[in-house]
Amino acid sequence: MNRRSFLMISAALLAASCGPTVTAPQLGPDGKPLPRAYRIPAGSEGKIEYNMLDSVNALRQARGVAPLQLDARLNAAAATHARDMSVQNRPWHFGSDGSSPIDRVQRVGYSGRLVGENISETYETELETLAAWMEEDATRNVILDGSARDMGFAWYQESNGKIWWTLVTGAPGAGAV
């Protein structure tokens, strides 16, 4: 009996030592954890898009706002801008050709009205980026605007790990403005 107990305890300790090691995150001067580069795995595009859509819709539902649906044209506008911000090496709402978010939405054939565009330059996940957008009034309003029904979401990740995120919302059939 003692031998059996010893073997079971030894096996349990061995198994426990093989588990992942938890290390404390490095903290920045503000006391918050420093971001770690998030690498987007190849082939996970759909998973990330729907993860963002589900998360946005959960936030909208909590506020009593109708859900959004992914729109391929808005995804294309978001993808174009995410890549272009990387080329320009700055997060801003104007394209290298001087285009505005309205111009980009019209170029992809979206016939509705642009509600808003959120952008980010980060090394963080899509959900960490969404959390940051929800902390600011202007970007939170784009996500929770009750007139929006469509969403486009895309990103471009550079080889150094930096990710340029773009989320676009639109109101279908409202006429481009």
| List of long-range contacts for 134-138, beta carbons under 8 Å, 24+ apart | 134/59
pLDDT tens, the chain, 177 aa long: 556 555 555 555 555 445 444 456 677 788 877 666 677 667 777 788 999 999 999 999 999 999 999 999 999 999 999 999 999 887 889 888 899 999 999 999 999 999 999 999 988 889 999 999 999 999 999 999 999 999 999 999 998 889 999 999 999 985 554
Distance CA 17, CA 42 (A): 31
Spatial separation of the C-alpha atoms in residues 58 and 22, rounded to whole Å: 30
Whole-number pLDDT of residue 85: 93
- What count of other Cβ atoms lies within 10 Å of the Cβ of residue 60? 18
Query: Please, are residues 72 and 154 in contact by the beta-carbon 8 Å criterion?
Result: no
CATH code reported for the domain at 42-169: 3.40.33.10
105, β-bridge pairs: none
pLDDT value of position 43 = 73
Largest CA distance in the chain: 80
